[in-house]
Amino acid sequence: MNKGFIESVFGYIGGVCLFLWTIITKLYQVPRSFKLIVNQIVSMGIGSLPIVVVVSLFMGMVTAYQAALQVGGYMPESYLGMAVAKALMIELGPLLTGLIVAGRVSSSLAAEIGTMKVTEQIDALESLAVDPIRYLAMPRFVSGLISLPILTVISELVGFFGGGLCAVLLFDIRPIVYIEGLRVNYFPHELWGGLLKALCFGFVIALMGTYYGFTTKGGAEGVGKAATKAVVSASILILFFDFLIAWIVF
Amino acid sequence: MIEIENLYKSFNGNDVLKGLSLKVKEGETTAVIGRSGCGKSVLLKHIIGLLRPDKGDVWVDGQNVKKLKRNELYKLRLKMGVVFQSSALLDSLSVGENVALGLTENIRISRARVREIVLEKLSLVELEGVEHKRISELSGGMKKRVAVARALAVNPSYILYDEPTTALDPITARTINELMLSLKKKIRITGIVVTHDMESAFYVADRIAMLHDGKIIFDGTPMEVQTTSDPIVQRFVKGGGKY
Ligand SMILES: Nc1ncnc2c1ncn2[C@@H]1O[C@H](COP(=O)(O)OP(=O)(O)OP(=O)(O)O)[C@@H](O)[C@H]1O
Ligand SMILES: [Mg+2]
């Protein structure tokens, strides 16, 4: 590793941290930007809902199917519900929701803001005495923090339902037995740890999307690059935080 | 009054402005002419405090732009309307919302009043019945007009145009020139027009300044521009040739 590389890595981290800090200093203006935040939650959260629901449904079904297939003969029937619930809460719910939303939202955030950057719309905001970080970045950031945990809970519910369908239809397990599985070996920190992950993923998705948007240079080509970089870095950071939180919480 | 003193700016070793000085008097429209890429947009961005000078100062109404805190700078910007080269309308908002943006985000003001102002400014630029349209539905000339209306929404004392007529057909360009002239007469606004369109400069300007090699090399009335013996200015005005 040469010196230039290390310098550029620290330069990058410093740049992201500085950007994050400018967003944080705008958080006190949340009440004033309420409408903007709600709009973002609608486009981020509601917009991502269909794909999250479809993916979660199948994910729950596959999880139940494999669990039943692998250990079906050896374990009590109520353990199937437990296995599905745990897999979803601890890992699959937050991670898949995070990766789906990263692909969908962080790229579109970067492209949207990047386009505004290269077409002088950000300069225009400044010239109208509207702070672009307060007007564009902060609402998207807050909305990411709110949307991801909510989407994750929905994903987990839908996934559990999908697993139930599979259990009931394919393995003749009574619905009540499957649902009772939720209570077997339940530890609250599994739910909260998963939601903490979701919060982190929302943070990462919004931060990477807005950061690459605001640092876009050049024309349409720069916008495309920004979108790609946002998705790639958000996905990598999501996997990193997934491991980090697993390590700390569990 | 806008006063620019000895302004220097370079980007990664590319010296764009090298000691530029310029005075813009109250009530006058000054055209800054110069070749593509000579730093006209960079100059405008210094006036509204979007770029920080490496050296030198920009004074607007006695305030030194680079010394202002963020909220002071924002207050100052409300005195200046900017029409960007690419119009730079927010395409996520409607025409009316674009015009209203500077008002709704900065001043406590009733919806009815905002609507009133939006319609007033749109009619000032001779656009009617477009406030609900999306930006993508507008032609280039209409976008320019909306951008002018947006710049005027907060009743600024200055308006800065960045190449208002380039990328427009001659007839539309002509109507934009007429608009700039009529605004000057109707609301007595002080203007800076950055352009390489000489016809436009002669049409609207009280003074014409030429930006060349990072400096203002000539500053005079349109009449003086036409009679000057300065070879660089002459070449630019007549068009063509190398300088
Ligand atoms: N943010 C920036 N970073 C780096 N270089 C810049 C930046 N802004 C402008 N430049 C450079 O400064 C020079 C002048 O640019 P500017 O946009 O002011 O030209 P212009 O006179 O407005 O030209 P045009 O008539 O084409 O609009 C160019 O060489 C450009 O590459
Ligand atoms: Mg320019």
In the numeric block, the tokens 């203006």 are attached to: A29
At a CB cut-off of 8 Å and minimum separation 6, what does B129 contact? none
Residue A159 lies in a domain: yes
In the prediction, which pLDDT does A1 show?
A: 59
Second-level CATH architecture of B1-79+195-243 = 3-Layer(aba) Sandwich (3.40)
Could you list the residue range(s) of the whole structural domain that residue A232 is in? 33-249
**B176 HSE (CA, 13 A, CB side):** 31
Residue A187 lies in a domain: yes
Probe target for ligand 1 pocket from B8, B15, B40, B210, with the most ligand atoms within 8 Å of CB: B40
**At how many degrees (to 10) do helices B170-187 and B140-152 cross?**
20
Residue A7 lies in a domain: no
CB B209 within 8 A of CB B33: yes
Single-letter amino acid code for the residue at B198: M
B99 at A interface, C-beta within 8 A = no
In the numeric block, the tokens 């007839």 are attached to: B171
Residue A17 lies in a domain: no
Residue A22 lies in a domain: no
Looking at chain A, the whole-number percentage of residues with pLDDT higher than 70 is 100
Q: Residue range A222-232: average pLDDT?
A: 96
How far is it, in rounded angstroms, from Cα A59 to Cα A85?
Answer: 12
Sign, CA torsion A77/A79/A82/A83: negative
Kindly report, residue by residue over A151-166, the tens digit of the pLDDT. 999 999 999 999 999 9
Residue A231 lies in a domain: yes
Residue A5 lies in a domain: no
pLDDT surpassing 90 at residue B97: yes
Environment class of A9 (CB within 10 Å of its CB; exposed 0-12, middle 13-18, buried 19+): exposed
Closest CA to B32 of B207, B227, B224, B176: B207
Kindly report, residue by residue over A11-54, the tens digit of the pLDDT. 899 999 999 999 999 999 999 899 999 999 999 999 999 999 99
Kindly report, residue by residue over B41-52, the tens digit of the pLDDT. 999 999 999 999
In the prediction, which pLDDT does B241 show?
A: 43
Instruction: Mark which residues 126-145 of A lie under 8 Å from B by CB.
Output: 126-131, 135
At a CB cut-off of 8 Å and minimum separation 6, what does B114 contact? B100, B103, B104
Q: How many domains does chain A have?
A: 1
CB B243 within 8 A of CB B33: no
Please name the residue of chain B whose CA is at the shortest distance from the CA of residue A121: B88
Kindly report, residue by residue over A54-83, the tens digit of the pLDDT. 999 999 999 999 998 888 777 788 888 999
Residue A38 lies in a domain: yes
For chain B, give the mean pLDDT. Answer: 92
| Domain definitions of chain B by residue range | 1-79+195-243
